[in-house]
Amino acid sequence: MNPFQPYSFFPLGDSALTIDFGNIISEDINKKVLRLFQHLKTIDDHSIIDLVPAYSSLTVYYDVASFQHPDKTAFELMADILEELFSKSSDIHEEESNYFEIPVCYSKKFALDIDYIAEQNQLSSEEIIHIHTSKTYKVYMLGFLPGFTYMGEVDHRISITRKTAPVKLFPGAVGIAGRQTGIYPLESPGGWQIIGRTPVKVFKKEDENPVLFHPGDEVKFYSITEDEFKNYQARRT
Amino acid sequence: MSLRITRQGVLDTIQDLGRFGHQYLGINCNGAMDKFSMQLANALLGKELNAPVIEIHFPSSQILFEREAVICIAGADFLPTINDRPIPLHHPVAVNKKTNLKFEKFQTGARCYISLFNELKLDKWMNSYSTNLKAGTGGFDGRGLMKNDVIAFTNGLNISKLLHEREFVVFPWKANDIVDTRNEIEFIIGSEWHWLSKDAQDLFQEQWFQITNEADRMGYQLAGQNLEAKNNDQLVSSAVCFGTVQLLPNGQLIILMADHQTAGGYPRIAHVISAYLPILAQKKPNDVIRFKMTSLEEAEKKLLNQKKYLQQLQIACKFRLEEFLHAHL
């Protein structure tokens, strides 16, 4: 028995292995995922090509050619390596994370769907802003677009189902889908309900580290006015 | 030392084997759709298999070689010509300066690859030359090639003597591979395979699926009889890969291709095996396919065989090229 149990391994195609901790969103499970992810990242193993942490799973892409065994598949050999590692889990440290305070302009100009949420959830837009800014969110994972964060969990009072059809969104759009909140890094079609816009660029392709948030980071939003939004953008350029 | 795009194609991009190591930031892999043909083009020139190439769709770009170059075209057959005279696929070809490369006709396959012996001057981003169209980065300015784009390349070989005023010279070695037009596509089961009823699992393997017009570098939507899931369980977002077959809420399927997102929330009922992705990448809308189950063991074996074949070809061609140049230059 190791502290990561229960989990299961399954092949994600013929060149990746997913460690699955159960089909649920839970902060504790995500912590396990991120601890393992950060540990595996530090291991100098040329057979590991990529690591994809998600809410409750970690996927390891590997080079099939670096495993050659007469009666075991590369998948089985990779699984053996991971089991071995889990049994030595005392070497695995707590995850590292950063904390960010992110300005958001919740003005109607950007908050495309705040009236809809207000109507659906019987709240005023001020209440929605207050609720959204009063909690620190955890970055569970990134995906969908370079730099797109899945953060959670928003208070159930502002939880809202996503749109049935995506609409074109501006970079920096801050949205809610279910109990998740996130920021669109690029102009893109998106189905989340939009409540504001941040002037912070969460994806800068020209930077050496192009993505601002990493899995495990913590984010708190604060409200700014349209003027502050403009000033912030002006300062940056 | 450069080539110039003189007519814009529908979508021609720079690709290599893909961008790995950054998916945790939502940065997807990209890379060539048909990695076999892409590597074949490089191997025949004795180049590193991961070297960046131009991925060409049809209607294709027209390319003016402003300087002499040695090229190799592999994959789909779009009838390539140099100054209106056909040149063969899967053969290295020396082309003279001021010659035009055109692709005349849609014959077999959907994508072809142009490799140059000369080193292309391109944008490497996050350890890969592959174009990320969404983020607008990598390859050539992070976008598809457009009219008047100029790609500089290094002076590789002094071939003016070999060309001797001719428009092109075909080198005396080739690969016998042609685009594999098989339509039985091998798969291994995905982690949500068991979300399908037994009948749906059988139907998945028995029926022919048609590739719809919604087929691009991100994914192929398939048309067929609806497959029913046993329950309405929701899947928490988790990694997906090139070849993942997802079951959409309406019972239809999508196969994720090279520009797929890093993670997704639809049931992963199957994965097309890596060795068959090049076959799938050469399919186009209206083509039909059928899924055939195989084992993970077989999938790994086929992938390794493909890899070995390409590595051996690359080494052999490197020697051939040195010999050839020694004799002719």
How many CA atoms are closer than 13 Å to the CA of B186, on its beta-carbon side? 16
From the list B21, B125, B296, the residue facing A73 with the nearest CB is B296
The whole-angstrom distance between residue A168's C-alpha and the CA centroid of its chain comes to 21
- Give the count of beta carbons closer than 10 Å to the beta carbon of residue B105: 10
Tens digit of each residue's pLDDT (9 = 90 or more) over A145-174: 999 999 999 999 999 998 988 899 999 999
Write out the two tokens for B172.
């005396």
B20, B261, B272 ranked by CB distance to A61: nearest: B20
Asked if the Cβ–Cβ distance from A211 to B27 is below 8 Å, we say yes
Q: Which residues of A touch B263 (CB under 8 A)?
A: 52, 54, 141, 143-144
CATH 3.30.1360.40 assigned to domain A8-91? The reply is yes
Q: Would you kindly state where each structural domain of chain A is located, as residue ranges?
A: 8-91, 99-236
Dihedral of CA atoms B100, B101, B102, B105 in degrees, nearest 10, equals 140
Encoded amino acid at B264, one letter: G
Count residue pairs from A and B with Cβ separation < 8 A: 143
Q: Say which CATH class B184-294 falls into.
A: mainly beta
Instruction: Give the separation between CA A125 and CA A115, rounded to whole angstroms.
Output: 7
Cβ atoms within 10 Å, residue B98 = 12
In this prediction the pTM is 0.95
Please indicate whether, in this complex, the C-beta atoms of A53 and B300 are within 8 angstroms of each other: no
- The string of DSSP letters for B183-222 reads -EEEEEE-TTGGGB-HHHHHHHHHS-EEEEEEESSSEEEE
Half-sphere exposure of A105 (CA within 13 A, CB side): 18
Contacts of A88 (CB under 8 A, 6+ apart): none
Tell me how far apart the alpha carbons of residues A154 and A178 are, in angstroms, rounded to a whole number.
Answer: 8
Instruction: Band the pLDDT of A1: cuts 50, 70, 90.
Output: low
pLDDT for res A237: 59
Which among B206, B205, B168 has a CA at the least distance from the CA of B187? B205
The tens place of each residue's pLDDT in chain B, 329 residues long, gives 799 999 999 999 999 999 999 999 999 999 999 999 999 999 999 999 999 999 999 999 999 999 999 999 999 999 999 999 999 999 999 999 999 999 999 999 999 999 999 999 999 999 999 999 999 999 999 999 999 999 999 877 788 888 989 999 999 999 988 889 999 999 999 999 999 999 999 999 999 999 999 999 999 999 999 999 888 888 999 999 999 999 998 999 999 999 999 999 999 999 999 999 999 999 999 999 999 999 999 999 999 999 999 999 999 999 999 999 888 87
The residues of chain B that CATH labels 2.40.100.10 are 184-294
Asked which of A42-46, A130-134, B66-70, B181-185 is least confident by mean pLDDT, the reply is A42-46
Q: Tell me how far CA of residue B95 lies from CA of B70, B71, B82, B153, in angstroms.
A: 6, 7, 8, 14
What is the CATH T-level fold of the domain A99-236, as seen in this structure?
A: Cyclophilin (2.40.100)
Model confidence pLDDT, tens digit, residues A89-106 = 766 777 678 999 999 999
Which tokens hold the place of B184?
Answer: 């039985």
Give B-chain residues touching A50 at CB under 8 angstroms: 20-23, 29
CA–CA separation, A144 and A182 (whole Å): 11
The predicted model gives A58-71 an average pLDDT of 94
Phi, psi of A83 (to 5 degrees): -60, -45
Would you call A16 and B242 a contact, using CB atoms and an 8 Å cutoff?
Answer: no
Q: Please give the Cα distance from B112 to B115 (Å, whole number).
A: 10
| % of chain A residues with pLDDT over 70 | 97
Instruction: Please tell me the distance from the alpha carbon of residue A108 to that of residue A117, in angstroms, as a whole number.
Output: 13
Q: Which residue in A8, A14, A18, A214 has the most chain B C-beta atoms within 10 A of its own C-beta, making it the best mutation to test that interface?
A: A14
